[in-house]
Structure 1
Amino acid sequence: MSTSDRLLLFLHIGFAIFTLGPLTAATMSTPRYIRNRNVTVVRYLHRTTQIYGLATLGIFLFGLALAKGDLAEIWLTVSMTLFVVALALLLIIERDQRKAAHLLEVAAAEEGRAAVPARPAAARTAEGAEKTETAQAPPAPASGAEIAQVERGRLAAMSGVVSLIWLTILVLMVWNG
């Protein structure tokens, strides 16, 4: 293996480690914050999904450069196909996160309250002893209908499927690489 191949392998593995972890954490934790009606965190997770989803293209590009014409091998073709399927599912996940954030904002406006009290960190630390709950939105009322229930279910299911796809690709890479 040449030095350039080692560099490509290092970049391929580095991109996989530093993009798939945060991406998977963001997509899999979104349903919890939708259930808690925390618009701020849902928007943050949506943005995280966008950024790291785009960065995963580096994994694909470095892997493609590393393959260098060995694309006739079935495990490489299967891995690339699964990767494209995962990217398509990530587009649906991103859409559902955006829609859920919008629905949560609309519901908060209809209830006549702010989605989540937003105060700068300096103001929170200046008050010291006062307990604030800016990290969590108020719990959903028990009698009200669930907001973004369809999106929450779809996000939970598809983020699990995407995680399984990443694991399958990892097994193919380790088994045949």
Structure 2
Amino acid sequence: MILHIGFAIFALGPLTAATMATPRYIRGGRPGIVRYLNRATRIYGLLSLGIFLWGALLARGQFDKVWLSASMTLFIVALVLLVIVERDQRKAVHKLEVAQAERRPATTPAAPPPAAKTAAAETAGTDAVTAPGEGPAPEPATDAGTATPEPASRAPLGEPAKVETGRIATLSGVVALIWIVILVLMVWNA
């Protein structure tokens, strides 16, 4: 029984940390980290399924105890919520990658640099070629009453996955509370 509780703490601790850290990295627009957290959620989610099966074997058919039935029911609810969290993590990774791809400037072939004027051409009297940034400065906008809208590229990267962020934060908090209730029930009745 003690090994079962230890294994549960080992597997559920990182699982809870991965799911609860995900919203922060979605808001920060970090698809690589969210992808890593999604992988950790999947791996530790499978380990948590092993915890459930090991607990069922340890029960040895004594499912008539209320605390054991309540723990197993809560565990199944937590696993279903984890499936939803994992799905939302995958959606968020996809949306962040799409938003990141849209932000990248289109790669166009580089234009040849402006021709530099040689000393011989200067003495020959040909027109002067100015380097970029040497020409007259553009005049600032004089209409102070109009505000320029902020371009879409300046919006936070995590904005496209706002729904997933909220759902992951909520469900991972509920799952963490379920783990605590199950742990208390196991330790109290062990």
Tell whether the structures are fold-level matches, with TM greater than 0.5: yes
Identity percentage of aligned residues? 64
CA contact (8 A) 2:29 2:158 kept: no
Q: How many residues align?
A: 143
Is 1:88 the counterpart of 2:80 in the alignment? yes
Q: Which stretches in structure 1 are left out of the alignment for 5+ residues?
A: 1-8, 114-139
Given that residues 39 and 104 in structure 1 are in contact (C-alpha distance below 8 angstroms), is that contact kept between their aligned partners in structure 2?
Answer: yes
List gaps (5 residues or longer) in structure 2.
106-152
Q: 2:24 aligns with which of 7, 29, 32?
A: 32
- Aligned residue in 2 for 1:171: 184
Give the direction of change, closer, same or farther, for the CA distance of 1:39–1:56 in structure 2 (3 Å limit): same
Amino acid at match of 1:71: F
- Quote how far apart the aligned CAs of 1:11 are: 3.5
User: Which residue of 2 is the match for residue 64 of structure 1?
Assistant: 56
Larger radius of gyration: 2
Asked if the contact 1:23/1:53 (under 8 Å) is kept, the reply is yes
CA RMSD of aligned residues (A): 1.7
How does the TM-score come out when normalised to structure 2?
A: 0.71
How big is the shift at 1:176? 1.9
For the residue of structure 1 that corresponds to 2:160, the secondary structure is coil
Relative contact order: is structure 1 or structure 2 higher (C-alpha 8 Å, sep ≥ 6)?
Answer: 2
Aligned-partner SS, 1:56: helix
Q: What stretches of structure 1 move > 2 A for 4+ residues in a row? A: 140-145
Task: State the distance in 2 between where 1:145 and 1:77 align.
Answer: 40
Could you give the per-residue CA deviations for residues 9-44 of structure 1, whole angstroms, max 9, x where no partner exists? Answer: 244123202110100000000000000000110000
Q: Structure 1 CA distance, aligned partners of 2:18 and 2:156?
A: 29
Q: For residues 48 and 172 of structure 1, do their structure 2 counterparts lie closer, same or farther at Cα, with a shift above 3 Å needed?
A: same
How far apart, CA to CA, are the structure 1 residues paired with 2:49 and 2:162? 30
- Counterpart CA distance in 1 for 2:28 and 2:158 is 13
Is 1:103 matched with 2:116? no
- In structure 2, give the amino acid aligned to 1:27: T
The amino acid across from 1:28 in the alignment is: M
TM-score by length of 1: 0.76
Deviation, structure 1 residue 143: 7.4
